[in-house]
Structure 1
């Protein structure tokens, strides 16, 4: 076994061949069952899942559409206080969900360069705004051409708009629809002893990415147990908003996007996935839906775990590939 890791022996052995980030935790679900392994963390430890939050928000949006609370053509000014701002107020929810809204990654009004400098120099949280502050920053945003462009701002607005349509806060809607295991701390005072402190590549502790505004795009926390249960539900097809995983447009050549979720071909298999990165955490979730297999990787360090996630998924799929032959359902294929 690999020093520092504990859990299912098969998974500990697989993880040890490539994942050195700690504290960390991994979950795998296959048709035969699920398994977890962790290092310097346990079942109570919560990790920032970063932009995997967008995948959750996409599901909340699709669930709201299916319940008739919103339509894909619903625009932001119908749900948020952006009535006097024709540009951003006229952006549709569907365009936000597929990163085709024409919005920038962040609003200029939040001074992203200054905040990024504070992040890398002092480990500060660049996303501590309230919803009211976010809306104030968003009002003067110029909307560009509706082309694929990854936007944190877009998913922040999408999540809060869907919550407004449901008569709820984003934090409450997330718990109500996808389960109580997901948390969205609005301030550092909301953190407890189980909330891990992340670090940068040099091992320096980083401030937690907390804030009401950022929650739908990158402010969700979860334990590996919550993520394993979520992964199992996704493979079973049982959570609300499952259509978010189905690609509807191209995001890049041979890469499709549903509502937040990305789909691509990896070594001949169709993979549905998302990753996440904050100042002190990295995360990855991926599913081979045809094989009924999925992987989650969470790490309390700012170092990409994408390669490890894809590798683990490929290895566990390969062990049962005879039962689940690959299918060619790539977007545009």
Structure 2
């Protein structure tokens, strides 16, 4: 679940003026040439008009690449953030609720842990490390095959309740798969509903995301990841870190998810798209778009509840990327122009990789 969201290098895609779907198709084909991967999908939606490019160095299989479900890794976190925002809008939890109180009322924890709220967990300001300290001894022997599967949910919760602070909650931004995983277990405990069921009820079903799930699907429906040398890798088992990186989705479902954030789906779509008339869903989608903090040198980096938030020549962009053992994903949208970009690839990120930079360029530089 490597996060690659801030790896925004210099691969940009520029055209002189907005054009037709044919022009967009040419832009995507040009961008695809910059990415070396067995399977690649670049998908763009502009006001719900979609253009999809598929390619890659491998022979295409029986299921079209844009119909396969890809592992999102850390790009799963916007789903967790939207779920939290909707539960808040429904009055079932509050951002300032303390996670330890919801997970284990009365359990003795370090005072700093007691102060960690749901807002701290989702915004990476909890003070928790990226992963629990005792995660690595069990993960290192199988780092390239199954690092997370041996660390179940109850162990994640115990590690949180026994944690000692690194920084005072709310004072420093530090990206943390651990924190978002704890958020998932906390919301499940607070609602009495398993995370997978809760996500489906509150996010996936209302948005019409029928090809999005948190577990591998039937044979032949999931993309197969590859290492840099082309060796296939097994499907990711996230163990107890489900909320931080377990979502799998087709590129078309990713566009549907992003279109909902743009408000492009509108009320009661005749084509079966999501119905955004539910006030709690509409409020949650608006909430996760609003900037909530700044970090970095001169506070140059802005974040919403769950998205990275950058400027671009065409207005702010919101995005998140992720990588698993053998796959990558990028999700982003540009509210001012109704543009959404979803990209997936079946090759693990490496130093010379251009996938994220290419997708980011599509989002920020396409008129």
**Counterpart check, 1:52 vs 2:98:** no
In the alignment, which of 209, 230, 238 is matched to residue 236 of structure 2?
A: 209
Q: Please, which runs of 5 or more residues in structure 2 have no aligned partner?
A: 1-23, 205-209, 265-275
Render the CA deviation track for 1:19-59: whole Å, top value 9, x for unaligned: 33231222211136112222334343111001111111011
Render the CA deviation track for 1:184-226: whole Å, top value 9, x for unaligned: 12xx7x6632122211212222232223522110111111121
**Counterpart check, 1:119 vs 2:143:** yes
**Counterpart check, 1:247 vs 2:291:** yes
**Counterpart check, 1:181 vs 2:211:** yes
Instruction: From the superposition, tell whether residues 161 and 310 of structure 1 become closer, same or farther in structure 2 (CA, over 3 Å).
Output: same
Shift of 1:299: 0.9
In the alignment, which of 274, 284, 298 is matched to residue 320 of structure 2?
A: 274
Render the CA deviation track for 1:73-107: whole Å, top value 9, x for unaligned: 10112221372223434310111111111001111
- Do 1:184 and 1:210's aligned partners in 2 also have CA atoms closer than 8 Å? no
TM-score normalised by L of structure 1: 0.83
**Counterpart check, 1:309 vs 2:359:** yes
Distance 2:48 2:194 in 1: 38
- Do 1:125 and 1:209's aligned partners in 2 also have CA atoms closer than 8 Å? no
Task: Name the stretch that deviates more: 130-139 or 218-227.
Answer: 130-139
SS at match of 1:245: coil
Render the CA deviation track for 1:148-190: whole Å, top value 9, x for unaligned: 10010000011221232232111111111222432112xx7x6
SS at match of 1:22: coil
Render the CA deviation track for 1:97-147: whole Å, top value 9, x for unaligned: 11111001111122x255145224xx3343443311221233322122231
Matched residue, 1:295: 341
Distance 1:222 1:308 in 2: 20
Instruction: From the superposition, tell whether residues 34 and 133 of structure 1 become closer, same or farther in structure 2 (CA, over 3 Å).
Output: same
Matched residue, 2:54: 38
How many residues were matched structurally?
Answer: 304
Which one scores higher on RCO, CA 8 angstroms, separation ≥ 6?
2
Over aligned residue pairs, what C-alpha RMSD do you find?
Answer: 2.3
- Do 1:75 and 1:92's aligned partners in 2 also have CA atoms closer than 8 Å? yes
Distance 1:269 1:229 in 2: 21
Matched residue, 2:311: 265
Instruction: From the superposition, tell whether residues 128 and 114 of structure 1 become closer, same or farther in structure 2 (CA, over 3 Å).
Output: closer
TM-score normalised by L of structure 2: 0.76
Distance 1:72 1:211 in 2: 25
Render the CA deviation track for 1:3-22: whole Å, top value 9, x for unaligned: xxxxx844652443323323
